[in-house]
């Protein structure tokens, strides 16, 4: 078998191994990798951990609008990772291209401004979006070590799965798409 190295996982999805971190935020996580370089580390957003749904007006005091669509909007909030939880991002389909922070090759983009909220409420925002607080990051070499230790399974990006509303099924579906049945995994290690 050929030795496989992962020089750039940008735009890929990490699927948490069924053995990974049972009591941790990363348990059964899907992480969309925003950037990855061997010397600079990696960063990404967890896309399947829905935290809550809240009225927009209680989250963003700076959006003081008389538009009832905005004032009555309920926003689903996802946990993107344990770093900088005070920062919020919209991971969204890239047909919406106003004030982008990032655009990937997978028809996915990131915005972080209040204009996108108004556009979503008005029905002119991105077709698909997730509001995510926090992010995940690895220092140089850390992700590669975790891959060697089978903490993660690397997959191609599937925007339909990322933006699916079936959050409790995303991890299972991601494994199934790779031909892996998570029911066959055991939390106990065997010895020969």
> pLDDT tens-digit profile of 84-100?
999 999 999 999 988 88
Q: What percent of the chain clears pLDDT 90, i.e. is strictly above it? A: 58
Instruction: Quote the CA–CA distance of 54 and 104 in Å, as a whole number.
Output: 28
- Residue pair 45/132 in contact by the 8 Å Cβ criterion: yes
Specify the CATH number for 13-184; select among 3.40.50.300, 3.30.530.20, 3.40.1740.10, 3.30.70.360. 3.40.1740.10
Of 150, 105, 89, 96, the closest CA to residue 124 belongs to 96
Instruction: Quote the CA–CA distance of 182 and 70 in Å, as a whole number.
Output: 41
Element (H, E) at 90: strand 83-93
Task: Classify strands 108-111 and 50-55 as parallel, antiparallel or unpaired.
Answer: unpaired
- Here the contacts of 147-150 (C-beta below 8 Å, separation 24 or greater) are 147/6, 150/17, 150/19
Q: Which of 67-76, 113-122, 158-167 has the lowest mean pLDDT?
A: 67-76
pLDDT of residue 34: 94
pLDDT of residue 2: 41
**pLDDT interval class at 33 (50, 70, 90):** very high
Question: What's the rounded mean pLDDT across residues 141-162?
Answer: 93
């Amino acid at each position: 078998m050929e030795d496989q190295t992962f020089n750039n996982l940008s735009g890929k999805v990490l699927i948490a191994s069924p053995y990974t971190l049972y009591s941790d935020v990363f348990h059964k996580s899907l992480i969309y990798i925003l950037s990855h370089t061997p010397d600079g580390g990696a960063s990404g957003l967890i896309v399947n951990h829905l935290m809550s749904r809240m009225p927009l007006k209680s989250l963003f005091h700076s959006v003081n609008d008389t538009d009832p669509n905005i004032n009555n909007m309920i926003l689903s909030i996802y946990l993107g990772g344990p770093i900088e939880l005070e920062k919020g991002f919209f991971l969204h389909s890239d047909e919406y291209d106003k004030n982008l922070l990032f655009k990937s090759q997978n028809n996915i983009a990131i915005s972080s401004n209040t204009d996108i909220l108004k556009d979503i409420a008005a029905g002119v925002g991105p077709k698909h979006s997730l509001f995510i607080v926090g992010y995940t990051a690895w220092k140089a070499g850390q992700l590669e070590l975790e891959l060697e230790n089978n903490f993660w399974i690397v997959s191609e990006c599937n925007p339909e799965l990322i933006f699916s509303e079936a959050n409790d099924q995303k991890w299972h579906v991601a494994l199934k798409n790779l031909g892996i049945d998570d029911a066959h995994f055991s939390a106990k290690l065997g010895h020969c």
